[in-house]
Every structure is written in C-alpha cells, then in structure tokens.
Amino acid sequence: MPENSAELDVGRAEAFGSSASNWTSRDTGWMLNLFGTAIGAGILYLPISAGAGGIWPLIILSVMAGPMVWLAHRNLVRFCLSGSDPTANITSTVNEHFGEKAGRVVTLGYFLCIYPIILLYGIGITNVVLSFIEHQLQWELPSRLWLCLSLVVVLVAVMHAGETWMLRAVKLLCYPLLVVLLGISLYLVPQWNFSAFNQPVDIQSMGVTLFLTTPLLIFSFNHSPACSAFARAYRVQIRDEQACARKTSQILKRNTQLLLLVILLFVFSSVLSLSAEDMAQAKMENLPVLSVLANRSGNLFFSIIAPCIAFLAIASSWFGVYLGDT
C-alpha cells in the first residue's frame, strides 16, 4: 500500500510538471500583469533622465539591467514560494521564517512602500483623464472628486471580480500599450542621430551619472509588488514545488525579456532622436519625452498619444501595485 501511494504521488507530481511546462493564456495574462506593473507613466520621463548623461552610461546601465531585474524578482518569488502554506502571502511567509515580530516590521515597511504608490496612481490617472477631457476632447470638466472616485471604484471592482477578469483587463490595457510604445520606437528610427557616440568619455562624469541613474532605471523595471500574488496564484494551482518554481521562473524570464525589449528600445530610440540641447532643456523644464518630440516636430500626434500612454501605463501599474496591498 505505501508503494502504491508513493507511485500515485510520483504520478501526480509528473502530471503537475507536464501541465506546468505548457504555456497557457493564464501565463500570458500574468506575464502582462508583471509587465504592466513595471511600466508606469515614468517611462515618458526615463529617456530624458537616463540619456542626459550621455550614451555610454546608458549602454552600461542597459547591460546591468537584465541580470539585476531577473535575479531580484526571481529570488523574491522563490522566497514567496518557500512557505508551507500554499495560500500564504509574503507577510505570512516572513512570519513563518523570521518570527512574528520581524514579520510585523517587514509588513509595516512593505505597506508603507506600496500604499503611497496606490494613492499617487489614483491622483495621476485622475489628472490624465481631466487633461484629456480639457485639451483633447474640449468638454466641460467634471467634478474632480466624483471622477477620481469613479475611476478608483472601477479599478477596484475589476480587481475584486476575480483573477480571470483582472487578467483580461490587464491584457486589454497592455496590448495597446505594447503596440504604441513599439510603434513610436520604430517610427523614430529614421530620425536617429549617432553623433552621441562621438562625445568624449569623462570617467568621473560617467560614474556620477551611473550612480544617480541606476535607481531610476531599475525602478522602471520594478514589478515586485505583484510578485507575492503571482507566486500564490501558481502555488495554489501547481502543488509540486519544483514544477511551480520552473513555471514561475519561465514567466519571469519572458517578462524580463519583454521589458528589456520595450523599455530599452523606447529609451534608445528617444535618446538617439534628440540632441543634447533638447534633453538638457527637457530635464530643466521636467517635460516628458513625447512633449519634447511634439514641440520639436510640430506633430500633434505625440501630444495626443502621450495622455493615452500615461493612462494605460498608470492603470496597468495600479493593478499590479494593488495586488501587493491585498
């Protein structure tokens, strides 16, 4: 009887491993959820901040970004998977490994890191919609209070409608965001100017730029708030620990590759399309890159598409960050 039971356990584990090896629409949904969590409206400012120090620090940061993002998030997910309870979140796992007192400290710090971001995204998405109504649609402005409340209620309702609806909503937001960002990056290719590679290399200036810009670049890839819910969703479905670790690592790897492709292509395409004077002025005036491109070329497309990108980016990021607070 024990031998039969062991054989059943092995067979069940093999079944889990087999099903976990196949890529599904659910995997795509979670990959896009992690992608949307990382990409916020800050991507519109990233090319100016990252490119103002020259092209060579940006190249070094791009090489560093992949391993840092991949290893940090993979290890965080592995920690979330290490708890004995499949339904536990990151705070419960911390309590299990380090004790209740340490768990309270980590939980408080985790909450203080994530909750303000939700508030900022609520304000940001309201500002974007109000600006779009006023300048693009030229309608009468609604009450800011009721508009903010309506937007937040809709976003929270989608989250509490269940994982399936949440992943569908994320796909609807992320697919247009992907298409627009890649489209703009490719549209700017004919305007690339490679004179930036001829600039002299100043080791001291490069070191300062790397020191100041590394946190900004890594933050642009950050999707840690969604990692706990992501790990829990797959731990409940795939009980075999090794199969679950392989599946989550596979999704994280593809998500990192997608982030590197989209973010770095957009940053390099924007930086190579602007002169050093354009970027210096934009940084001084705190303008997003699309506003700079619109002002330089007189193309109204950039001024129209900018709030659309900001709305999609903030909404998708809000879903991922909200997962970290639930």
Does an H or E element contain 254, and which? helix 241-273
Question: What pLDDT score does 254 carry?
Answer: 94
Classified as helix, coil or strand, 283 is helix
Question: What pLDDT score does 296 carry?
Answer: 67
Spatial neighbors of 138 by CB under 8 A, at least 6 apart, are none
Q: Is the model more confident about 63 or about 214?
A: 63
Average pLDDT of the segment spanning 218-241: 86
Q: For the chain, what is the mean pLDDT? A: 80
Average pLDDT of the segment spanning 257-268: 91
**What is the pTM (predicted TM-score) of this model?**
0.79
Least confident of 116-130, 199-213, 246-260: 199-213
Kindly tell me if the per-residue pLDDT of 248 is higher than 90: yes
pLDDT per residue over 2-13, tens digit each?
444 444 344 444
Average pLDDT of the segment spanning 318-326: 70
H-only helix segments in 44-137:
46-51, 55-81, 90-98, 100-131
| Closest C-alpha among 314, 311, 227, 220 to residue 266 | 220
Spatial neighbors of 104 by CB under 8 A, at least 6 apart, are none
Q: Is the model more confident about 197 or about 28?
A: 28
Question: What pLDDT score does 297 carry?
Answer: 60
Domain segments of the chain: what residues?
Answer: 29-324
Q: Give the whole-angstrom CA distance, residue 166 versus residue 30.
A: 10
| Closest C-alpha among 31, 325, 304 to residue 159 | 325
pLDDT per residue over 36-92, tens digit each?
888 876 777 778 777 777 788 888 888 888 888 899 999 999 998 988 888 888 888
Neighbour tally for 210: CB within 10 Å: 17
Radius of gyration of the chain (CA): 22
Question: What pLDDT score does 41 carry?
Answer: 66
Question: What pLDDT score does 258 carry?
Answer: 93
Question: What pLDDT score does 298 carry?
Answer: 60
